[in-house]
Amino acid sequence: MRHIIAVLLENESGALARVVGLFAQRGYNIDSLTVAATEDPTMSRLTLVTRGDDQVIEQITKQLHKLIEVVKLVDLSESAHIERELMMVKVKASGDQREEVKRCADIFRGQIIDVSPTTYTIQVVGTSDKLEAFIEAMCNTQILEVVRTGVSGISRGEKALSL
């Protein structure tokens, strides 16, 4: 099962390496990982997408918790949450294709954020599924480059991961 784990950790050098190292050492998967400082500059927030059965996920959260610099963490997939990912796709777009690409981007509520005589760069925001669906929809177009931020997640309602 896919899980989204949000982690608050001390914004110290080496803290991220410890998290990534843990996954490598213990043979856990990382599908995606994003990290940046929070409103409190001494703390970073990390969102990690991983896969595993219940026992593996339990070990992952316990092992993460053991890291001295991990302040708090939550498995967002255990309750209602929102996930978003941002993707930028550069595609070949000339002649008739230009209209076709634009239409498709519109359907996915994507924005064309850069234009050249032969290319479009489209920004799409959504769940990972939606991003994948967009890439699929562009199958008749020559994709030059894809860049994704990885998933960020947050709980719905009043629940908050904070100190």
Residue 98 DSSP class: H
Q: Write down the least CB distance from residue 25 to other proteins, Å.
A: 5
- Is 59 an interacting residue with respect to other proteins (CB under 8 A)? yes
- Is 145 an interacting residue with respect to other proteins (CB under 8 A)? no
CB 5 within 8 A of CB 153: no
State how far the alpha carbon of 40 is from the alpha carbons of 6, 44, 79, 84, 146, in Å. Answer: 16, 8, 25, 22, 32
Q: β-strands 2-10, 70-75: how paired?
A: antiparallel
Find the part of the chain contacting other proteins (CB under 8 A) among 55-63, 98-106, 113-121, 151-159: 55-63
- Is 2 an interacting residue with respect to other proteins (CB under 8 A)? no
- Is 118 an interacting residue with respect to other proteins (CB under 8 A)? no
Contact with other proteins (CB under 8 A) among 18, 51, 92, 130: 18
Contact with other proteins (CB under 8 A) among 41, 55, 117, 140: 55
